[in-house]
Chain A
Amino acid sequence: MTVPALDLRGLAVAHGGRDLFAGLDLTLPGGVFSVLLGASGVGKTSLLRVIAGLDRPAAGMVVAGDGAPLAGRVAWMGQRDLLQPWARVIDNVTLGDRLRGRRPDRDRAAELLRRMGLADRLAALPGELSGGMRQRVALARTLYEDRPVVLMDEPFSALDSVTRARMQDLAAETLHGRTVVLITHDPLEACRLGQAILLMAGDPVRVEAIAVPAGAVPRPADDDSVLHAQGVLLRRMLDAAGR
């Protein structure tokens, strides 16, 4: 599995008849977590959907750094867990294979769920799980796809702080070595997970690279450099919003 960088070239994205940004040139490095921050409505989700191939850009294109086509190499995790309420946990994890008409690899799905701490919930229905457990199933489903590029749209925003911190650890551990683009509006999440931190702000939208705190991810939440970076980041977000 080669892990490509993502090159956005002259990208223009519109949503609901409104131009969000145009002429965006950006490289998201391969094999690391890139965190995309910005206020609500700035176009983070639309950008991620374009990268995922779910929406077409108004102009420009997204190409893989290795030159090979991006199609079939991207896994997408939305804002909600999108579990199928009628299917058992293990069948939710193997959804991709079931929708492609391939034989589900239940052993691998069970192993992923074991890593998520859900070994004893394979046969449970999503309705019987807590919000944090449901997100872990969604993460297992994303990992089951085994794609080199993983796009995550605020996957942990609905969780309480403790559950969220655990999910960040789990995501950093299990997605290590892949090209991950994570959208968040939580500066702490950005500073814990980001190996590149990009702030989207302004009108027209510009993307600004923010200094990344030292240390391997997931960085401890009480680390001085993380706390400092978080403060700086929040200040920049406030400045951007005030302009």
Chain B
Amino acid sequence: MSAGRIAARLGRPVGTLCGLGLLWWGIVRLGGVPPYLLPPPGSVARALWAQRGLLAGAAGTTLLETVLGLLLGTAGGGALALLMMASAPVRRWMMPLVLLSQAVPVFALAPLLVLWFGFGIASKVVMAVLVIFFPITSSFFDGLRRTPPGWLDLARSMDARPGLVLLRLRLPAALPAFATGLRVAAAIAPLGAVVGEWVGASSGLGFLMQTANTRFETDLMFAALLVLASMTVLLWWGVDRALARMLYWVPDDRSD
């Protein structure tokens, strides 16, 4: 990629961010909003720099919880989708449970999970797993079911073994759908971790935001929010690029 194209690609998001910052600054300046309600961008930037050690530590905790949640949720959801595909009883018994994991609001479960799994990172990892379990499992299961029928006909004409059809035909054919679920998961997993931290934790961005909020340190709270947003975007981007590389046969139109 040429320097010009990198500049072109970075130009738009940077422009959007600058525009938003300007709008923000204008509202605070012209609207006379008190800083404990909406701090001006400058004081948020100052908080970001002054508290960089605190923020980095908190971000590290949240990132660890998110990544652990992603790994466990992906492995668990992927394995369950495969089991549901291989066995009709598993499918009938587990599908309602998968739906339930999405239907129950994690916000309501969070206090309970903290009680069960403690104030440490375990309860937050469980939250992240719960949040991503449905998109992972349902997208992968859908992909496994939608193998092009021609491939299955070919396999039947070759007297293929069902287990190997699942492993060597349905599984790779489902990977693009799985990847879609994984991208969604990467974007929402931090949410699960932060909700857990909000309810009861001793570190992490959610914990930091909550304490800053109760002390009216709105600038620190906004700084933590910025860190969380950037972390989520970077995580999504990393997962997206890694998946595009792994699914080398899937057309990936990134022309704009």
Contacts and interface: CB of A to CB of B under 8 A. Distances in A.
A101 B161 contact: yes
Interface of chain B, main secondary structure: helix
A117 B127 CA distance: 56
Nearest to B158: A96
A99 B150 contact: no
Contact of B160 (A75, A76, A100): A100
B151 A99 contact: no
Contacts, number: 58
A53 interface: yes
**Most chain A CB atoms below 10 A, which of B155, B157, B159:** B157
Interface residues of B, number: 21
Interface in A60-108: 71-72, 74-76, 78, 80, 82, 84-87, 95-96, 98-101
Contacts of B161: 99-101
Interface in B201-229: none
Given A87-B172, A95-B158, A145-B158, 14 more contacts: A52-B157, A54-B153, A54-B156, A74-B157, A78-B153, A80-B150, A82-B148, A82-B150, A82-B154, A84-B151, A85-B250, A86-B248, A99-B165, A126-B249
Interface of B: 148, 150-151, 153-161, 164-165, 168-169, 172, 175, 248-250
20 contacts: A49-B153, A54-B156, A72-B159, A75-B157, A78-B153, A82-B148, A82-B150, A82-B151, A84-B151, A85-B250, A86-B175, A95-B158, A99-B158, A99-B160, A99-B161, A99-B164, A100-B158, A100-B161, A100-B164, A145-B158
Interface of A: 49, 52-54, 71-72, 74-76, 78, 80, 82, 84-87, 95-96, 98-101, 125-127, 145
